[in-house]
Amino acid sequence: MSSTSPCAADCAPTDAGTRYALKGAPGAGTLLAAALVAILLATGCREAPVAKIPVPVRDRQSTALTPEQVEFLKIEEVGGGGNAPSTAAPGRVAYGPQALSSLGAPFSGRITSVSVRPGERVKAGAPLVVLQSADASAARAQLELATARIAAAEDQLRRQNEMMARGVGLEVERVAAETQVKEARAELERSRRSIAFAGGGRGGEVILRAPAAGIVVSVRATAGAIAEPGGEPLVELADPGRVWVVADVPEPDVARIAAGQQARVRVPALDATLEGTVDGVGSAVDAASRRMPVYLSIKAPPARLTPGMLAEVSFAGSRDGLSVPVSAVLIKDGHRRVVYVQRADGRFEVREVRTGRSSGGRIAIQEGLSATDRVVVKGALLLDGEAELLL
- In words, the CATH class of domain 87-98+239-315 is mainly beta
* pLDDT band (50, 70, 90) for residue 27: very low
What is the rounded average pLDDT of the residues 2-28? 42
As a whole number of angstroms, the distance between CA 208 and CA 201 comes to 10
Residue 368 has pLDDT above 60, yes or no: yes
Average the pLDDT over each of 33-47, 59-73, 155-169 and give the range with the smallest value. 33-47
| pTM of the shown model | 0.50
Using one digit for the tens of pLDDT, what is the confidence trace for 116-157?
A: 999 899 999 899 999 998 888 888 888 888 889 999 999 999
Which has the closest alpha carbon to 111: 189, 13, 214, 226? 226
Q: Which residue has the higher pLDDT, 62 or 136?
A: 136
Query: Strand, helix or coil at 115?
Result: coil
Q: Return the CATH number of the domain spanning residue range 58-85+321-389.
A: 2.40.420.20
Among the listed residues 6, 3, 5, 35, the one whose alpha carbon sits nearest the alpha carbon of residue 22? 35
Q: What is residue 391's predicted lDDT score, i.e. its pLDDT? A: 55
For the segment 346-357, what is each residue's pLDDT rounded down to a tens digit?
889 889 998 877
Contact by Cβ (8 Å): 164, 174: yes
Average pLDDT rounded to a whole number, residues 5-20: 42
Q: What is the pLDDT of residues 199-248, one digit of tens each?
A: 666 788 888 999 888 899 999 999 999 999 888 899 999 988 888 999 99
Buried b (16+ CB within 10 A) or exposed e, 132-167: bbebbbebbebbeebeebbeebeebbeebeeeeeee
CA nearest neighbour of 311 among 256, 249, 258 = 249
Segments making up each domain of the chain, as ranges: 6-43, 58-85+321-389, 87-98+239-315, 109-227
